Amino acid sequence: MTAEGAHSKQGWRAKLKDYSLLMKFTLSFTVVFSCVICYLLAPKVVEYDWTMIILLFVAGMLVTGSANAINQAVEKDTDAVMKRTATRPVAAGRMSATEAYTFAIIAGAAGVIMMYYYFNLSSALLSAFSLFLYAFIYTPLKKVSSIAVLVGAFPGALPCLIGWVAGNDDFGAGGWILFGIQFLWQFPHFWAIAWVAHGDYSKAGFKLLPADKGPTKFTAIQCVMYAVLMIPMGMLPYYFGISGNLSFWLVLVCNLFLVVQCLRLYAAMDAKAARRVMFSSYIYLPIVFLVLLADKIH
């Protein structure tokens, strides 16, 4: 390979890496994972059709990646002043905001069209609504008020309902229960992240903790309250016949574990305890959804 060819190859690799960062690939993967699992939990999905699963995954990644691209284009200046986000492609100047918006329009449109063509209109409309809510309501609201966390929890949980509707083509109780689990989960999860990154967020002008004075007992007790609310919500898949007895107890154990971590945060009031809540919440969601799927009642 010539030096020019090697340089071109490195250039493409760097560009692909930047697009992966623009989409927030890891975060998008986590969101779409929930969508796919909830699709498989729908009663009408009685066997694994890997073609449909892959199509749902791709469509979900396109829609979520679009929302994240818009988020980075809008927040390029604030991202640039925060240590954890300064290397993002738009913030660092490796990609223009115009390029990010162009990618977002193409990816978002492609994802929504795929949802309509391969699944149904309801899931496509929900996908478009979720994209709009995240990119154009939640994103600018982060600098206005901590109510942004509540607003952002809706597009954060909608992938569960989208997956259910894509598999079942209705807005039944099951979809709303799965939506509710992920909706409540986001509060201790996100406030733990905001606790750890409070310095960076404050520098950027983001208002993401429930207390104006930063990490306080009020923030910690809010985490405890939402973790406690997750206990009865986690019982509903069993009572509505989505999953069986085994998952009921395993999900209960996961919920109690998260409550304990939030109580430890309330007692310790430090970044170490907040990190425990953050990492506990990271492992909570995949375990709970996989347990529900493994114990699904067909």
Domain identity same for 163 and 281: no
Domain identity same for 36 and 127: yes
Domain boundary among 138, 169, 200: 169
Answer whether 40's CB lies under 8 Å from 293's CB.
yes
Angle at 252 between CA 251 and CA 258, to 5 degrees: 90
Q: Residue 109 belongs to what domain range?
A: 13-169
pLDDT in tens, 66-101: 999 999 999 888 888 888 888 888 888 888 999 999
Domain identity same for 72 and 179: no
The pLDDT assigned to 6 comes to 47
Q: d(Cα 200, Cα 79) in Å, to the nearest integer?
A: 9
DSSP 269: -
- Number of compact structural domains in the chain: 2
Domain identity same for 147 and 217: no
Domain identity same for 180 and 155: no
Domain identity same for 165 and 183: no
Specify the CATH number for the domain of residue 57: 1.10.357.140
Domain boundary among 169, 184, 210: 169
User: What are the residues whose beta carbons fall under 8 Å from the beta carbon of 116, sequence distance 6 or more?
Assistant: 123, 124
Write down the pTM of the prediction: 0.91
Per-residue pLDDT of the chain (298 residues; tens, 9 = 90+): 554 554 455 677 888 888 888 898 888 888 999 999 999 999 988 788 999 999 999 999 999 999 999 999 998 888 888 888 888 888 888 889 999 999 999 999 999 999 999 999 999 999 999 999 999 999 888 888 878 889 999 999 999 999 999 998 888 899 999 999 999 999 999 999 888 887 777 777 777 777 677 788 999 999 999 999 999 999 999 999 999 999 999 999 999 999 999 999 999 999 999 999 999 999 999 999 999 999 998 7
The pLDDT assigned to 7 comes to 45
Domain identity same for 154 and 19: yes
Q: d(Cα 157, Cα 184) in Å, to the nearest integer?
A: 9
The pLDDT assigned to 47 comes to 83
The pLDDT assigned to 10 comes to 62
The pLDDT assigned to 9 comes to 58
- CB burial readout 12-29, b (16+ within 10 A) else e: eeeeeebbebbbbbeebe
The pLDDT assigned to 1 comes to 52
Scanning 197-268, the segments in alpha helix (DSSP H) are 198-204, 217-239, 245-268
